[in-house]
Chain A
Amino acid sequence: MEQNIFISGDEAVAHGVRLSRPNVIAAYPITPQTITVERLSDMVENGDLKAEYMHVESEHSAICATMGASAVGARTFTASSSQGLLYMTEGLHYCSGGRYPVVMMNANRSVALPWSIYGDHRDSLSLLDCGWIQVYVEDAQEALDMTIQAFKIAEHKDVLTPMMVNLDGFILTHTYEMVSIPEQDKVDAFLPPFQTENKMCFDNPKNMAFSSQPDDNTEFKYQQNEAMFNAVKVLKQTNKEFAQSFGRDYGDMVEEYRCDDADAILVTLGSVTGTVRVVVDKMRAEGKKVGLLKIRYMRPFPEKEIIATAKKVKAIGVIDKDISFGYEGTVFTNVNSALAKANSTVLKKNYIGGLGGRDITKNEIENMFNELLTGKLKKDGEHVEFFNLKVAIDE
């Protein structure tokens, strides 16, 4: 019987990690991830989790330590956010290039300057190129479940790619909900111990993590790219198996909500999905044909799914809690590329907001849908709009 307990998103991740039986955890605390690493520390201390918990002095050391442990065949976990995530950036590339399947929880938090502890997606979206699989969860239950799934996906022999599970800072990390805790023996059956050939071992001595000349570098990168594409079928298979074992099915790389006969949809990442669901239901009750496309995985990117959904609708708005300065939001860039390859002529609009922890309200979401439903941009040529500025600007 699964136990239901009232916990925060951070705590849900800690339970997911405990159930996955990692061998080594090396993490440095940073708001709003601290509760996860504190709970894991408690669990190791009181024997609930039999793992080596390495205290490191920085996030850079954290990723190097977890990668080093992974290189001797250990199942490893780390966690970070914002400044910490960026501090470990060179390590993230090392990890993915070296094909070490580390699992990390990232609490999405804004990046200085100005310094902020509150949530947005600028930290992880600025690192889409570092070669990690990236999934974004909508609630604490999904956070726990995806932590377990992450180990299975990352460690798969056709993948061997590290994976980042993203939770919105404060909105998900610090709010409480009823979460179902899977039973340990069911998780053990779903997730067997980590096996790999890519490890230091006396029986089969290896030269690891070496450099490569122009002659070979491209082939390693090509292989890494192919592994990320292999992850697509592995994550779908993993979702299916998880649904069979635990009864919760999250769909694959995206989730469509009421898109089949929609005129306008909003594309979302993370917890704002929940708010948009509520607005979709309200507007549908009023007869407006709106829908929601939740992107779960940003890498690998659900290009086929987005093209398929775009064929059904007339207007697509993308909410970005991110801005690539001097251009547009990163989710929009990725979605647009998919649409361009398919020669899609849907109306496209990028809504930039929710930065530095600013709330995205149901009213604002309704305004987005209303604009999209008119079939044209409210201001000609303005595809990118900061929708929740609190001051006037010069036009």
Chain B
Amino acid sequence: MNKPQKKDFIKPKHINDYPVGPQFEAGHLADINAGWRTVRPVVDHEACIFCLRCYIVCPDGTIFKDGDKIGIDYDYCKGCGVCAHECPKDAISMIKEEL
């Protein structure tokens, strides 16, 4: 699973710049989207056994393989906590975000 990349979106200036009907290239992320996160997952890499269960269950696909370590893209993580809940080694803690 590839980490989603932010791409520039060029706003249409003419009606013909719009696609025909509501359709567009897939996977085009124009904005980062993590604004409503109140807690963030933090991985204890010593406790982590790299079973990749967190990587599989993340609903937003923001957990990625950073070499042989778990990486989290905080630009898109919504702080749902499923990764922490599923980790068999309790290696992920949900830490309150600083305001």
Contacts and interface: CB of A to CB of B under 8 A. Distances in A.
Interface of A: 97-100, 160, 197-198, 204-212, 216, 219-220, 222-223, 226
B18 A210 contact: no
B20 interface: yes
Given A97-B22, A206-B24, A207-B23, 14 more contacts: A98-B21, A98-B22, A99-B21, A197-B20, A205-B25, A206-B23, A206-B26, A208-B23, A210-B23, A211-B22, A216-B18, A219-B12, A219-B15, A226-B15
A99 B18 CA distance: 13
A211 B22 CA distance: 8
A222 B27 CA distance: 26
B25 A206 contact: yes
Contacts of B23: 98, 198, 206-210
A219 B18 contact: yes
B22 A223 contact: no
A198 B19 CA distance: 9
B24 A210 contact: yes
Contacts of A99: 20-21
A278 to B, nearest CB: 44
Name the residue among B12, B21, B24, B26 with the largest chain A CB count within 10 angstroms.
Answer: B21
A223 B12 CA distance: 13
A212 B22 contact: yes
Interface residues of B, number: 13
Interface centre among B15, B18, B19, B28 (most CB of A within 10 A): B19
User: Which 7 pairs between the two chains have the least Cβ-Cβ distance?
Assistant: A99-B21, A205-B26, A208-B23, A207-B26, A210-B22, A207-B24, A98-B21
Interface string B9-52: 00010010011111111111000000000000000000000000
A157 B24 CA distance: 17
Contacts of A222: 15
Contacts of B20: 99, 160, 197-198, 223
Given A160-B20, A198-B21, A205 B27 contact: yes
A100 B22 CA distance: 11
A197 B12 CA distance: 19
10 contacts: A98-B22, A99-B20, A198-B19, A205-B25, A206-B26, A207-B25, A207-B26, A207-B27, A219-B15, A226-B15
B72 to A, nearest CB: 24
Nearest to A222: B15
B22 A220 contact: yes
